[in-house]
Amino acid sequence: MTLRPVDDTTYTSLAAGTPLPVEQAPVWAAFDAVVPGRSHWGRLAYVDDDGATAAVVTLAEVRGPGGFRYLWAKNGPVWLVEPTPEREAALRRELGERLRRVDPRLVFVRLHARHEAPDLRPVMQGITYDRTVVVDLDRSEDEVFTAMKQQGRRAIRKALKDESLTVGEETGLDEAAFAELYDVFVETGEREGFGPHPARRYLDMLATLGPEHARVFVTRRDGRALAWALVLVNDGAALYSVGASSSEARGAYAADLLHWDIIRTLLAEGVRSYDLAGAGSDRFPGLSGLTQFKTKFEKEITEVSPAWDMPLHPRAYTALVQALAAKRRATAALGRVRSRLRP
């Protein structure tokens, strides 16, 4: 079993018949090229002993604070056969040996794996998940609506009756128009306790991926944005990448109406699935608060492969984890001091 570099044409040909997540598709390299500290590293094919391709993977190089570097196979490897524990471990072994040889300064690789293993560590930072909600769009609109939970259908009907609400696609919006949506994102972050990337990150994603792959949908009330979503599409599969909603949106069921419009639009275009990007689980409870909302649209939970870190140099990796933990403790302590000093 071997790993070999491949060009874009060969990579796409080998994966034909298996939907590539957009982050694993050649188009994503254009976005990596404009994100500070990130660049496209390469594409590899993993070939079985019988010469058949078992998986393909695209890797981006990321430069962290202080200059350490790692590779990130977001939503990869893409398996063309069943990813058994043995196959996953063999691929990682080959990958680790190759990377230590060609670029010994890389500290670790972040990639997805279905099975826990001794060579894998929980990601040192960032969000991952092992369950998600995928709406099957290979059905009629009526079938999709009927299969939803009753509370989801009720919310959509209420929103549709509200004549002050409008919903639709706004892909192609300019920077000034996106600023209004970003303000809603900032409001959501303050309410939910997270900090969004700068607006430029999302504008660059829209510009580099283009309207075929990166699309924006918005629910408005009397012209004001209440909820919006950025949806990624590739190979007939769609992913809810990022979105936000104002405090006013909840009572108006604006987010319910938004995702229903996305579903209807994608279905009409022949897209086969819409992944709502994560649900809570025992291992990753951080997304549990969103599970109830997402399962309005699809009752079934889908098991997926979470992201893991695979250290290439365990001592250096452990030092990074310890440094990050110390930084978090210091930040938390500073926050407590500031809160006590507030009048």
pLDDT, one tens digit per residue, over 9-18 is 999 999 999 9
**Assigned domain for 288 exists:** no
Identify whether 343 is part of a domain: no
Mean per-residue pLDDT for 259-269? 98
Q: Are residues 107 and 183 in the same domain?
A: no
In angstroms, the CA 9 to CA 52 distance is 17
8 Å CB contact between 260 and 268: no
* First CA to last CA distance, the chain: 65
Tokens of 151: 């509370």
Say yes or no to pLDDT of 21 above 70. yes
In a domain, 285, yes or no: no
pLDDT bucket at 274, cuts 50 / 70 / 90: very high
193 found inside a domain = yes
In this structure, are 70 and 199 located in the same domain? no
Q: What is the mean pLDDT of residues 301-323?
A: 95
Whether residue 294 lies inside any domain: the answer is: no
Give the pLDDT confidence of 143-170 residue by residue, as tens digits. Answer: 999 999 999 999 999 999 999 999 999 9
- Tell me what pLDDT residue 342 has: 55
φ/ψ region of 154 (left if φ > 0, alpha if ψ in -120 to 50, else beta) reads alpha
Q: Are residues 150 and 263 in the same domain?
A: yes
| pLDDT class of 335 with cuts at 50, 70, 90 | low
- Is residue 175's pLDDT more than 60? yes
Average pLDDT over residues 47-68: 92
- Residue 285 vs residue 76, higher pLDDT: 76
The single-letter code of the amino acid at 166 is T
For residue 189, the model assigns a pLDDT of 84
When pLDDT is cut at 50, 70 and 90, the band that residue 333 belongs to is: low
Q: How many domains does the chain have?
A: 2
Question: Are 138 and 270 part of one and the same domain?
Answer: yes
* Residue span of the structural domain in which 319 resides: 2-126+305-335
**Is 171 inside a domain boundary?**
yes
φ and ψ at 170, to 5 degrees? -130, 30
C-alpha 93/C-alpha 95 separation (Å) is 5
For the chain, what percent of residues have pLDDT higher than 70? 95
Contact 3, 98 (CB under 8 A): yes
Q: What is the pLDDT of residue 50?
A: 85
This prediction's pTM? 0.92
Q: Name the more confident of 50 and 296.
A: 296
- The CATH number of the domain where 169 resides is what? 3.40.630.30
Same domain, 256 and 153: yes
Task: Return the exposure string of 36-57: e unless at least 16 CB atoms fall within 10 Å of the residue's CB, then b.
Answer: eeeebbbbbbbbeeeeebbbbb
Q: What is the pLDDT of residues 214-228, one digit of tens each?
A: 999 999 999 999 999
The pLDDT score that the predictor gives to residue 284 is 87
Domain shared by 18 and 122, yes or no: yes
| pLDDT given at position 49 | 83
Q: Are residues 172 and 84 in the same domain?
A: no
Say if residue 175 is in the same domain as residue 221: yes
Determine the average pLDDT of the residues in 288-297.
Answer: 89
Same domain, 141 and 265: yes
Looking at the structure, do residues 149 and 260 belong to the same domain, yes or no? yes
| Shared-domain flag, residues 39 and 122 | yes
280 within domain boundaries: no
pLDDT at 337 over 60: no
Q: Which of the four pLDDT bands, split at 50, 70 and 90, describes residue 66? A: confident
Mean pLDDT of 30-48: 96
**pLDDT mean across residues, the chain:** 93
| pLDDT at residue 1, as a whole number | 78
Q: What is the 3-state secondary structure (H, E, C) of the chain?
A: CEEEECCHHHHHHHCCCCCCCHHHCCCHHHHHCCCCCEEEEEEEEEECCCCCEEEEEEEEEEECHHHCEEEECCCCCEECCCCCHHHHHHHHHHHHHHHHHHCCCEEEEEEECCCCCCCCEECCCCCCCCEECEEECCCCHHHHHHHCCHHHHHHHHHHHHCCCEEEEECCCCCHHHHHHHHHHHHHHHHHHCCCCCCHHHHHHHHHHHCCCCEEEEEEEECCEEEEEEEEEEECCEEEEEEEEECHHHHHHCHHHHHHHHHHHHHHHHCCCEEECCCCCCCCCHHHHHHHHHHCCCCCCCEECCCEEEEECCHHHHHHHHHHHHHHHHHHHHHHHHHHHHCC
Query: For residue 298, is it within any domain?
Result: no
For range 228-244, the mean pLDDT: 97
Provide the pairing of β-strand 224-234 with 307-311: unpaired
- Of 256, 275, 294, which residue constitutes the final position of a domain? 275
Question: Of 275, 290, 313, which residue is a domain's last?
Answer: 275
Residues 170 and 242 in one domain: yes
Q: What is the pLDDT, as a whole number, of residue 324?
A: 83
pLDDT of 340 higher than 70: no
Q: Can you give the pLDDT at residue 331? A: 59
pLDDT at 341 over 60: no
**Percentage of the chain modeled with pLDDT above 90:** 82
